[in-house]
């Protein structure tokens, strides 16, 4: 079964069956602009044509296995057509309506992660970001990420990468309806930061980016697409050669080779930190793009004062923006704890004092088991416990 949003296959099909070419634009409009993921709902097509297309095409073949909803996030657990599982997270970025700013500031819940006092009455939805998977599980083996514990299964084809966004846009349409101006909310920012290392699925990742940027596809700006990589140096160079002009985020997580090899063993041992930073310098010089450095805050491991100074020395002469990410604690890694809040703020101020911009990442997905692989890992562990109990 083919995907209806695969333009090359659909175009050949329409030509072969002598179906007018304008139907292609109608289908593209329905899927990419109207967020339709069911062929029967494309009412600009006749019923006969819809029935004909359903014999050879599908828009959505994901099965929703689980969904965890929070005020600022929705996490999906999808079963693919081959039975494998991936996770996708939607993040909602809200702004306080001007008339409620003073009141909310007084209640100290403007950006609270505990009160979640967000409602359409006091807040306005500003933008929506999606965190997508590029692989089923992962082979990078970052010690703080649960994804690798169930081992790498496969690379996602570009269609299954794109379908995560199409499904999300359909869900957003149902959740929020139309805006006051008659337009629809939809995904604005796409981040390759879900399951998998996107640069280890390079060709399919590039295929999905081309669809995202195509004006007959999702029509997303290059500024609104970010590839997050653990540091696959040769593929970073290939991004330049192939002129894939999107944003790049590097999961650095350590300012020295020894600590980085402990945290991200597979990648760090293949490309040491000196080689990686030379590649990054080559990338920034060739593209002029500012790089985002992801840095996880793990208590007594990545947050010491000595580490602070190593980090700013590494980045002070580079066009860098650091995102400090409080570690999302997980029962699968009981020995790891998130850094204390005061330590994170002190770390931020120290690095900033050396002219490196720093942001502390909002932990939007803590309440929805948003760390990569966390939701499915808990499902697997629950099944194993149930199987053991049944044997007793």
Q: Is 87 annotated as catalytic? A: yes
Of the candidates 79, 142, 372, 378, the residue annotated as catalytic is 372
User: Residue 359 corresponds to which tokens in the numbers above?
Assistant: 């942001």
Tell me the three-class secondary structure of the chain, residue by residue. Answer: CEECCCHHHHHHHHHHCCCCCHHHHHHHHHHHHCCCCCHHHCCCCCHHHHHHHHCCEECCCCEEEEEEECCCEEEEEEECCCCCEEEEEEEEEEEECHHHHHHHHHCCCCCCCCCCCCCCCCEEEEEEEEEECCEECCCCCCCCCHHHHHCCCEECCHHHHHHHHHHHHHHHHHHHCECCCCCECCCCEEEECCCCCHHHHHHHHHHHHHHHHCCCCCCCCHHHEEEEECCCHHHHHHHHHCCCCCEEEEECCCCCHHHHHHHCHHHHHHCCHHHHHHHHHHHHHHHCCCEEEEEEEECCCCCCHHHHHHHHHHHCCCCEEEEEEECCCCCCCCCCCECCHHHHHHHHHHHHCCCCEEEECCCCCHHHCCCCCHHHHHHHHHHHHHHHHHHC
CA–CA distance, 143 with 302 (Å, rounded to integer):
13
Distance in angstroms (rounded) separating the CA atoms of residues 246 and 209: 9
Which one of the listed residues 72, 87, 197, 294 is annotated catalytic? Answer: 87
Is 372 a known active-site residue? yes
Rounded to the nearest angstrom, the gap between the alpha carbon of residue 107 and the centroid of all alpha carbons in its chain is 32
For the purposes of burial, counting CB atoms within 10 Å of the CB of 379, is it exposed (0-12), middle (13-18) or buried (19 or more)? middle
- CA–CA dist 139, 146 (Å, integer): 11
Say if CB 328 and CB 366 are below 8 A apart: yes
**Among all residues, which ones are annotated catalytic?**
87, 372
């Amino acid at each position: 079964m083919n995907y209806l949003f695969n333009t090359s296959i659909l175009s050949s099909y329409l030509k072969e069956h002598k179906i007018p070419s304008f139907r292609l634009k109608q289908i593209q409009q329905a899927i990419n602009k109207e967020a339709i993921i069911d062929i029967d709902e494309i009412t600009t097509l006749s019923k006969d044509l819809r029935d004909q297309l359903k014999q050879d095409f599908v828009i959505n073949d994901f099965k929703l296995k689980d969904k965890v909803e929070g005020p600022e996030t929705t996490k999906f657990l999808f079963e693919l057509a081959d039975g494998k599982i991936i996770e996708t997270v939607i993040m909602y970025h809200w702004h306080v309506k001007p008339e409620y700013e003073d009141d909310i500031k007084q209640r100290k819940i403007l950006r609270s992660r505990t009160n979640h006092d967000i409602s359409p009455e006091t807040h306005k939805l500003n933008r929506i970001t999606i965190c997508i998977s590029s692989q089923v599980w992962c082979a990078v083996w970052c010690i703080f990420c649960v994804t690798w514990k169930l081992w790498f299964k496969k690379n996602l084809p570009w269609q299954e990468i794109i379908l995560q966004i199409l499904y999300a846009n359909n869900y957003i349409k149902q959740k929020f309806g139309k805006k006051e101006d008659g337009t629809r909310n939809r995904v604005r920012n796409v981040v390759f930061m879900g399951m998998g290392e996107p640069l280890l699925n390079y060709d399919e990742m590039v295929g999905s980016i081309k669809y995202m940027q195509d004006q007959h596809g999702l029509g997303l700006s290059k500024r609104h697409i970010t590839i997050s990589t653990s540091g696959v140096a040769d593929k970073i160079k290939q991004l330049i050669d192939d002129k894939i002009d999107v944003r790049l985020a590097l999961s650095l997580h350590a300012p020295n080779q020894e600590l980085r090899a402990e945290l991200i063993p597979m990648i760090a041992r293949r490309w040491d930190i000196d080689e990686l930073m030379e590649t990054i310098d080559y990338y920034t010089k060739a593209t002029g793009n500012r790089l985002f450095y992801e840095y996880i805050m793990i208590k007594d491991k990545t947050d010491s004062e000595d580490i602070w100074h190593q980090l700013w020395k590494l980045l002070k002469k580079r066009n860098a923006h650091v995102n400090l990410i409080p570690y999302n604690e997980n029962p699968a890694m009981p020995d790891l704890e998130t850094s204390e809040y005061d330590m994170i703020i002190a770390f931020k101020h120290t690095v900033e004092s050396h002219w490196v911009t720093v942001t502390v990442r909002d932990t939007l997905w803590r309440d929805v088991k948003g760390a990569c692989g966390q939701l499915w890992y808990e499902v697997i562990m629950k099944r194993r416990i149930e199987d053991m109990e049944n044997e007793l």
